[in-house]
Amino acid sequence: MPELPEVQTIVNELDRKIKGKTIKEVVVDAARSALPSPKILIAKIKGQKIKAVKRRGKMIDIDLGGDHNILIHLKMTGQLVYVGKTGKQVSGGHPIGTVGELPNKFSHVIIKFTDGSVLYFNDIRKFGWVKYATNIERDIARQKYGLEPFDKEYTLENFKAIIKRSPKKKIKQLLMDQEKISGIGNIYADESLFIVHVRPTRTAGSLKEKEIKDLFLAIPKLLKFAISKGGTTADNYVRTDGSKGQMVNYLKVYGRGGKKCKRCGGTVNKIRLGGRGTHYCPDCQK
């Protein structure tokens, strides 16, 4: 699943591509992908103009102005494909082989604009969704996400409170809990813990004051750097502008199981933690 930097990269690129465009037509191929229902989604967003594309956690928020919004979550296998009026295809999210002919059997929601460009929401497993929401419904959806690393509420005091409320939870699993801290997934949990020399298997309550502060500072710094590199291109993510995210070249520990630690020269371990592949260096992460 794309994490905060990858979703932010999609948001930045979509904002440039579709802001100001007017929705001419909406086609829904799979009812479960269009919420609250295909009929409502189509009726509410047709004729609306894109004001801005934003993000909350891993959710894409398209502002249509007034009391109208489109919320999109790619989940595990969702993909957005933008086709400009010249016919050039660019995609972001989970790669589905070569995009090929569009629409295809995975194209579940299609948004056509008056200038001839099209935005396709494709999803192999139909876990993701495109949802119409009023401002109140959007705000309720946003409230399900925890502390946002780039918001003013992201303070050391609030971060400490989250740590202290779940002392027995493994620190990596706490970082990935979207109701506690939004946007961090497998990649950036491993990377942030490596930066501060903390093992992902430690309980949150075992962290010392300095470790908590270091982790608090490391998370937004790491995420901002990842955004500047266009995110991490892995098995489940490519960029909407057709290029690959470059953050994969800067990862220190994620995906390096069995390889030499870039910091101390030890061997990086890969284990399963909460059902997720987890990477750390047993020599320099304590």
Q: Point out the residues that are catalytic.
A: 2-3, 58, 276
Give the bridge partners for 92, in sequence order: 80
DSSP state of 265: S
Joined together, the tokens standing for residue 259 give 């390889």
Tokens of 276: 């997720």
Annotate 196-220 with DSSP letters as a single string. Answer: TT--TTSBGGG--HHHHHHHHHHHH
Name the percent of the chain in helix, strand, coil, to the closest 5. 30, 25, 45
Distance CA 149, CA 152 (A): 8
Which ranges of 171-264 does DSSP label H, i.e. alpha helix? 171-175, 186-195, 209-228
CB-side exposure of 41: number of CA atoms within 13 Å? 25
Identify whether the C-beta of residue 32 lies closer than 8 Å to the C-beta of residue 7.
no
Contact 114, 22 (CB under 8 A): yes
In degrees rounded to 5, what are phi and psi of residue 5? -60, -35
**Look-up: residue for tokens 């740590």?**
163
- DSSP letter (8 states) at residue 36: S
Radius of gyration of the chain, Cα coordinates, nearest whole angstrom: 20
Assess contact for 129 and 35: CB atoms under 8 A: yes
